[in-house]
Amino acid sequence: MNSETIEACYGLDVVNSRDLSTGHTNQTRLLTTGDGKKFIMRIYNKRQPVDIISREHGLLKHFSSNFAYNVPHLLPNRQGGTLSKSGDLQYAIYPYIPSSQSPYVILQPSKKIIHEISKLSASFAARAAEYPIPHTNEIILELQSYKNRLIAYLAGMRQENHNTPLFNGNLANRNEFFMNNIEDLVRMFTGYTPSSVAHTDQRKDNFIFSPGDEITGLLDFGNSMLASPWYDIAFTLKEHTLPQEISADFNYALLHEFLTAFHQAFESKGVNIKTDQELLVPFMRLSALRCLSWLLQDRTHTPEYREQLQDWIYRQAELLVHEKTTRGIIGRLR
């Protein structure tokens, strides 16, 4: 997150997540000040990156022992940076922004973000002749909206008309919300609905390779897959980013389908995502998330496996919605 990001949740008490790459645990809490104001606190191990607080909403004057969770040791950085405690933990604070206009909490972008979007919109209009991408302003706003929805989702937000936090065990609702929004982004950029959405048992049998048989499975799948320019990318993703237990189930064919769709859509607009790392990385994350998210529905996996899968999806989604990543996508489209 950057200094202009406002994170929100609804009905959140405490949510824990674990970073598989470090083993560290992050915690998100809802704080309430003595005068009734509510904030989100992210707690990190001291070796983890620390979010930077938003400078808006007069946050600094609320840092006191009035928090519902007794944290009088929080000391504001007068330059508007992070809040931290000497020791093992670091903290970052965000405003709490409930929404009554949607069954999900939609974050309201800060004035700074709105200003940046306006500048980007003007830049798009000025450079439309270079890359004649239709509806560029709408793309910017949709990207911001999508990022905000995912941040709210990742914060453990729940449906207002239900009493079950999406992040605390109701995997059906959680997964449905996540997958629906992934589909929205696919359609937004490509106008394309992947044929693999149904994930029938037959498709699973054809496309998932057992441990140790990934290469054999790909050879059996046919030369078209091995000849794909995405093959090396998919294999690299599996080898370097996926936990070993999950990589055995990685759906290369579905990844290929998504990346091909993205490539074809952007190529028609004069942009080659295969040779552009700023675009390739976020869309690799998006495609990988889409390929793995449905594995949460497979009840044959052990609880430990499912926890690893959830944590990996959570971490990759956090990276996907990071402001820098979003701006990278927008910037490369200009």
List helix spans (H) across the chain: 111-126, 136-154, 171-190, 201-207, 214-221, 223-226, 231-241, 244-247, 252-267, 277-293, 303-320, 323-333
Whether residue 178 is found in the same domain as residue 326: yes
| pLDDT above 50: residue 306 | yes
CB 33 within 8 A of CB 69: no
Helix/strand/coil percent split, the chain, to 5: 50, 10, 40
Task: Tell me whether residue 200 is in a domain.
Answer: yes
2/205 Cα distance (integer angstroms): 42
Whether residue 24 is found in the same domain as residue 159: no
**The tokens of 241 are what?**
């980013």
**Mean pLDDT computed over 17-42:** 48
**Mean pLDDT computed over 140-165:** 42
Q: How confident is the model at residue 314 (pLDDT cuts 50, 70, 90)?
A: low
Task: Tell me whether residue 176 is in a domain.
Answer: yes
| pLDDT above 60: residue 33 | no
Bridge partner list, 16: 27
CB 110 within 8 A of CB 4: yes
**The tokens of 287 are what?**
């495609």
On average, the pLDDT of the chain sits at 43
Task: Tell me whether residue 9 is in a domain.
Answer: no
Q: How many domains does the chain have?
A: 2
Quote the percentage of the chain above a pLDDT of 90. 0
**Amino acid occupying residue 98:** P
Q: How confident is the model at residue 304 (pLDDT cuts 50, 70, 90)?
A: confident
> Of 303 and 141, which is predicted with more confidence?
303
Whether residue 50 is found in the same domain as residue 188: no
| pLDDT above 50: residue 318 | yes
| pLDDT above 50: residue 99 | no
Region of poorest pLDDT, from 24-33, 107-116, 213-222, 303-312: 213-222
Q: What is the pLDDT of residue 284?
A: 61
DSSP states of 194-225 as a string? -TTTT--HHHHHHH---TT-HHHHHHHH-HHH
Among the three residues 60, 95, 130, which one is the final residue of a domain in this structure? 95
**Mean pLDDT computed over 66-85:** 30
Whether residue 33 is found in the same domain as residue 159: no
Among the three residues 95, 126, 158, which one is the final residue of a domain in this structure? 95
Task: Tell me whether residue 102 is in a domain.
Answer: no
Whether residue 90 is found in the same domain as residue 119: no
Q: What is the pLDDT of residue 295?
A: 56
| pLDDT above 60: residue 47 | no
Among the three residues 65, 95, 125, which one is the final residue of a domain in this structure? 95
**Mean pLDDT computed over 263-270:** 65
**The tokens of 107 are what?**
């974050």
Task: Tell me whether residue 6 is in a domain.
Answer: no
Whether residue 68 is found in the same domain as residue 169: no
Region of poorest pLDDT, from 173-182, 183-192, 228-237: 183-192
Whether residue 81 is found in the same domain as residue 178: no
**Mean pLDDT computed over 10-33:** 43
Q: What is the pLDDT of residue 50?
A: 30
Whether residue 309 is found in the same domain as residue 276: yes
CB 95 within 8 A of CB 40: yes
Cα three-residue angle 102-108-109, rounded to 5 degrees = 145
Q: Which domain covers residue 217, as residue numbers?
A: 111-333
Write down the pTM of the prediction.
0.28
Q: How confident is the model at residue 178 (pLDDT cuts 50, 70, 90)?
A: very low
Whether residue 32 is found in the same domain as residue 130: no
Whether residue 175 is found in the same domain as residue 280: yes
Whether residue 84 is found in the same domain as residue 144: no
Q: Who's near 303: CB < 8 A, 6+ residues apart?
A: none
The helix (H) or strand (E) run that includes residue 83 is strand 83-84
Task: Tell me whether residue 295 is in a domain.
Answer: yes
Task: Tell me whether residue 143 is in a domain.
Answer: yes
Strand order in the sheet with 83-84: 14-18, 25-32, 38-45, 89-95, 83-84
Task: Tell me whether residue 327 is in a domain.
Answer: yes
> Of 141 and 97, which is predicted with more confidence?
141
Whether residue 154 is found in the same domain as residue 294: yes
